[in-house]
Amino acid sequence: MGVFLVIILMSLVGVLGDAILKYAGQGPGYINVRWFIIGFVVYASTAVGWFYAFKHTKLGSLGVIYALTTITALTLVGVFYFKEKLNAWELLGLGLAIISVLLLKKFA
């Protein structure tokens, strides 16, 4: 598997961990410990993939791919799973963030 795909996969697994951790905090109590532990394990499981990615690509390139994947995936999870609404300013900010990441990728 290419390093580019590993970075995207690890980013998406990290987003899954983030979503599980968010879910763990939405119950009637302060925290659902079971879901917190599952989210922690999912999130921590990306360490092996990140090690591989760090070894085979420049840190700046890795950061750009990670940022774009994470921004997009977290927004989609928030909107479609957690039913969060985005206002015009948030959409503009998301668009500008994606543009900035693309510019960094092109010129960094």
Indicate if the pLDDT at residue 107 is higher than 80: no
What's the confidence (pLDDT) of residue 6?
Answer: 87
Domain boundaries, given as residue ranges, for the chain: 3-107
- Give per-residue pLDDT as tens, 57-93: 888 878 888 888 888 888 989 999 989 999 999 999 8
In order, the DSSP letters of 56-88 are HS-HHHHHHHHHHHHHHHHHHHHHHTS-----H
**Stated pTM of the model:** 0.75
Q: What are 21-46's pLDDT values in tens digits? A: 999 998 777 899 999 999 999 989 99
